[in-house]
Amino acid sequence: MATTTLEQPTTATTTEAPGSGATPAPAPATTDTKPPRTLSVAIINPKFEPSYWGFDYALPLYPGDKRCTMITGALPALAGLVPDGHEVVLIDENVEEIDFEALRRFDVIGLTGMIVQKQRMKEILEVVRTYEKPVVVVGGAYASVDEEYFDGLCDVLFTGEAEETWPQFLNDYAAGRPYEKRYEQADRTDMSKVPKPRFDLLHVDRYASGALQFSRGCPFQCEFCDIIVTFGRRPRLKNPVQLVEELDDMRKAGFFSCFIVDDNFIGNSREAKKLLRLIIPWQEKHGYPLRLTTEASINLADDAEMLDLLYRANFRGVFIGIETPREASLIETKKFQNTRGDSLSDKLARIQNAGIDINAGFIVGFDADDKGIFEDQFNFIQDNGVVLAMVGMLGAIPKTPLYARLEKEGRLRMDDPNCNIVPAQMTREELQRGYWDLVKRLYSPEVFLDRYFRVYRFPEYHRKRAEISKKANEGKTIPTLVYGLLLLWSLFWTLLKDGSLLTVGAVYFRKFFRDNLRYRRDVIGFAQYMNRCVTHWHFYKFTREALSGKLRLFNSG
């Protein structure tokens, strides 16, 4: 299966007959003329381990029944690839329980997942693998980099992309033809020919955001990244018209926000600009129905036209892999794009002045990192107002250049899911202790809200955020006010029950009257501030629970 995309098969290993533990089936002696049968197919996305990304503690505070931050793009995309005539059911364990007994009726059970889902994938596979009827198949990001992990757990494994091999397998099985034990697509997917995702099969109301993919692949060569291993360094793209149609399908399905999950949205900047020029009039026509975010490299800051188009297309934020303020570490990991031109701080300021929020990834544990890196990271994040700073310890993913190098140097420790590398200038214990001290500091209430208000020092950021918010909320003053008040009420009672009202809550409310009213005295500003306080509650609560040992954690690097 896939993660934000699919996997692909074409390389045969052994041919199997239907069913768990099936023995190889001999090739038919004559051509099978029987009509293909209708298959029932279940595609499962396992529950994620608790993480900063999951917003587990914030979701219950939002109005409605929000259970997951964002859809996993693989589910609707894989459903869209199922040939016509077959039944397909999507099961996302992040928004619903798995009825294991009900799974027995399906002909095919498929699992997709990323490295942070590997343990739960294994637990589910150990159950369904015992069923007599279904063919159990696995694909996705983690299956593509660590095939051995799934030995004995599935009948069929898809590695890499799967736009061709997933429907190929289903057609063969439905027709009674032999199918392969392992599929690997021979050629990279032509993204312009990918069918539309099936949003109609999702519990849309249970997600805070949707997800779509425009391009696949990244032109850069970061040593720790598995994207270039799985999808290559030449971006492949959908047609811009194609993606706007998918955005419209998402609007009609009931989504209000969408993350464009590209590995690097500006990997092909010319085509990205073509898309943005189509999204702008679409947003205007429909009253800005979708708040958009995406992922891009830091050289976005050097393209003023791109920044303006993103802003006008209602892109409210961008995730950037900054990784580290230390140039030696960036050069070590071959993230050369972050070392070119003026400083990282100057680049971030240009993006913020364009009216775009910055969420960013940071990593500690590079070979050039000594114990001073934790203070360096804290100061950089704080000084530059990176509100949502996703910090992780360096992790070596199988098949990446980093993994190969550390394996050669004898510096892998794959028995520890929290830290699978041996750092060069500190012990693993010092790395883990420094990491947790850092995130604890970053997500203390005073420090977090200080970052939130620092971006207001950019006059253009303040003006543009107010301008785009006004356009998107035109005629919605009362609903926006109600939304902000509901968040305030939910947060108040949550803090009261948790016992944090006088510590965390006092900071929220003091900051609101002192700082927020200095910059924003409108309903939209109030709602945005309350939304950010709810977001912070997740980070604060998660850090506290993690440090107490109450959570099963997994560091993905």
Higher pLDDT, 456 or 171: 171
3-state helix, strand, coil in the chain (%, to 5): 45, 15, 40
Q: pLDDT digit string (tens) for 401-434?
A: 999 999 999 999 988 878 999 999 999 999 999 9
* pLDDT bucket at 554, cuts 50 / 70 / 90: low
Torsion of CA 50, 55, 61, 62, to 10 degrees: -140
Does residue 189 or residue 516 have the better pLDDT?
189
How many angstroms separate the CA atoms of 193 and 236, rounded?
A: 11
The answer to whether residue 398 sits within a structural domain is: yes
| C-alpha closest to that of 344 among 358, 334, 365, 364 | 358
Give the helix/strand (H/E) hosting 68.
strand 68-70
pLDDT above 60: residue 13: no
DSSP 3-state of 331: helix
Same domain, 485 and 452: no
**Predicted confidence band at 395 (pLDDT cuts at 50, 70, 90)?**
very high
On whether residue 353 sits in a domain, the answer given is yes
Average pLDDT over residues 247-251: 97
pLDDT in tens, 205-223: 999 999 999 999 888 889 9
What is the per-residue pLDDT for 555? Answer: 53
Same domain, 442 and 540: no
Same domain membership, residue 310 and residue 451: yes
Q: Is residue 165 part of a domain?
A: yes
Domain end residue (candidates: 161, 183, 205): 183
Looking at residue 217, its pLDDT comes to 87
pLDDT higher than 60, residue 33: no
Across residues 533-555, what is the average pLDDT? 86
Predicted confidence (pLDDT) at residue 224 exceeds the cutoff of 50 = yes
Q: What is the pLDDT of residues 252-300, one digit of tens each?
A: 999 999 999 998 999 999 999 999 999 999 999 999 999 999 999 999 9
Q: Are residues 298 and 432 in the same domain?
A: yes
Q: Is the pLDDT of residue 7 over 80?
A: no
**479 shares a domain with 453:** no
Percent of the chain's residues with pLDDT above 70: 93
Per-residue model confidence (pLDDT) at position 557: 41
Of residues 234 and 154, more confidently modeled: 154
Instruction: Please tell me the distance from the alpha carbon of residue 192 to that of residue 164, in angstroms, as a whole number.
Output: 13
Are 402 and 495 contained in the same domain?
Answer: no
Average pLDDT of the chain to the nearest whole number: 90
Q: Confidence band (pLDDT; 50, 70, 90) for 26? A: very low
Beta strand extents in 94-248 (DSSP E only): 108-112, 135-139, 156-161, 179-180, 182-183, 207-212, 215-216, 236-237
Look at residue 114 in the predicted model and tell me its pLDDT. 92
Q: How many CB atoms lie within 10 A of CB 288?
A: 18
In a domain, 467, yes or no: no
Rounded Cα distance between 519 and 112, Å, is 45
Q: Are 455 and 385 in contact (CB under 8 A)?
A: yes
Check pLDDT > 50 for residue 16.
no
**Residue 8, pLDDT score:** 32
How many whole angstroms separate alpha carbon 306 and alpha carbon 28? 57
pLDDT for the residue numbered 24? 39
pTM value? 0.89
pLDDT for res 306: 98
Residue 553's pLDDT band (boundaries 50, 70, 90)? low
> Which region, left, alpha or beta, applies to residue 371 given φ > 0 means left and ψ of -120 to 50 means alpha?
alpha
- Last residue of one domain, picked from the residues 140, 167, 183: 183
User: Residue 549: its pLDDT value, please?
Assistant: 83
DSSP letters, 133-154, are SPEEEEESHHHHH-GGGGTTT-
Give exposure, 317-353, as e/b (b: 16+ Cβ within 10 Å).
Answer: bbbbbbbbbbeebbebbebebbeeeeebeebbbbbbb
Residues 486 and 527 in one domain: yes
Give the pLDDT band (50/70/90) at residue 20.
very low
Residues of the chain with pLDDT > 90, as a percent, come to 78
- Domain span at residue 510 reads 473-547
The confidence band for 383, taking pLDDT boundaries of 50, 70 and 90, is very high
Based on the fold, state whether residues 229 and 336 are members of the same structural domain: yes
* Of 416 and 397, the one with more pLDDT: 397
- Evaluate whether residue 200 is within a structural domain: no
144 and 280 in a single domain? The answer is no
Tell me, yes or no, whether 150 lies in a domain.
yes
Residue 15 predicted with pLDDT over 70: no
Predicted pLDDT at 552? 66
Whether residues 157 and 60 fall in one domain: yes
Element spanning 262, H or E: none
Pair (326, 382) in one structural domain: yes
Does residue 198 lie in a domain region? Answer: no
Domain termination site, one of 434, 460, 486: 460
pLDDT reading at 489 higher than 70: yes
Confirm whether 263 is domain-assigned: yes
Same domain, 397 and 477: no
Here the CATH number for the domain that contains residue 294 is 3.20.20.70
Number of domains in the chain: 3
